[in-house]
Chain A
Amino acid sequence: MPRLIRMDPTGHSTLAEWTVDDDTAYAEAVAAFRREIRIGHIATVPEGPGKATHVRELPRGAALVILRRPIAGG
């Protein structure tokens, strides 16, 4: 089942789960996704070893979408 998770001080939190066929669950996931993006999170879809893609909209078919905070030079 596709999941939207956020890395946070608890390790990570699952914000939403949906299935490709469930429009209501996906709409709720999109709302949660947009809320987190508005407050500065960055969304990434891991795509196997060595690959990840930054996304600006919640992909319906992605197995896992991870929300992270921005990085900066230390």
Chain B
Amino acid sequence: MEAGSLPELAGVPWRERASPALLARRGRLWTAYTVAHVVPFVCVAALLVALEPLSAPVALAALAHAWIIPELYAFRGANTAKPRRGPAHAAEPVAQGLLGDLLGHHERALQRETGLALERGALGVWLVGQQGALLVTAGGRRIHCFCVRVAEPDLPPSDRTAHLLLALREDEQGFATVANHAFSGAPWRVRRRLPSAMRRALDAARARAS
């Protein structure tokens, strides 16, 4: 393990360390994967209607598949940013204070409004939540969604975010390596699946990335 690298990397020695090149490659793979899901279903729908117009209902079902499968992947990506469900935690005000101390003025206000902590890194602009993080790259034209959490069930929500934020600041590439890559695609595909407050955070991240 490199000096200054995230200690958690010892748990995933088989993973290639995240880098701009690796993320770009993953982005291209996700695009190819999406095209591979959409194009065959659209072709089948067009062929069915061309051969027999009465088969239009089956063609519609094929088009529905072409739409639903990419949507499910985007939904999975958006879920990484959403907060955990559950009753309010009694210690949240204390945890919120510590998290606020770690953030700058603008980022603190944004986090309190949206639940996501904005952090500029070398890989792009991050939005860190309670159980995942979004990374906006390529001048705001691509988003990567990561599922990552702290394995401590009783922590207040802001402490969860603070755990991820500190790990990200210790070693950004290590953080992106330890986290599970859940989705990559155009930001609008994730944005429309987010609660309205979180959309404002994503807009801010895209503006910061461009």
Name the distance in Å between B112's Cβ and chain A's nearest Cβ.
16
CB neighbors of B among A20-52 (8 A): 42, 44, 46, 49-52
Identify the B interface with A (CB < 8 A). 4, 6-8, 11-12, 80, 91-95, 97-98, 102-104, 119-121, 131-132, 146-152, 154-156, 159, 162-164, 166-167, 169-171, 175, 178-180
Given the known inter-chain contacts A7-B95, A42-B7, A72-B148, please indicate yes or no for A50 contacting B155, CB distance below 8 A: no
Residue numbers of A with Cβ under 8 A of B are 5, 7-12, 42, 44, 46, 49-54, 66, 68-74
In the complex, which residues of chain B have a beta carbon less than 8 angstroms from the beta carbon of A5? 98
Closest to B8 in A: A70
Q: What chain A residues lie within 8 Å of B92 (beta carbons)?
A: 11
Assess whether A72 is in contact with B149, with CB atoms less than 8 Å apart.
Answer: yes
Inter-subunit contact B170/A53 (CB<8 Å): yes
19 contacts between A and B (CB under 8 A): A7-B162, A7-B163, A11-B93, A44-B169, A46-B166, A49-B103, A49-B104, A53-B170, A54-B4, A54-B171, A71-B8, A71-B163, A71-B175, A72-B150, A73-B180, A74-B80, A74-B132, A74-B179, A74-B180
Q: Which of A42, A46, A70 has the most chain B CB atoms inside 10 A of its CB?
A: A70
Q: What number of A-B contacts does a CB cutoff of 8 Å give? A: 105
What are the 8 closest A-B residue pairs judged by CB atoms, nearest first?
A11-B94, A73-B180, A52-B169, A74-B147, A11-B91, A9-B154, A11-B95, A74-B149
Let me know if A71 and B91 touch, CB within 8 A: no
Nearest-neighbor residue (CB-CB) of A44 within chain B:
B166
Contacts of A46 in B (CB 8 A): 102, 166, 169
Query: Do B121 and A71 have beta carbons less than 8 Å apart?
Result: no
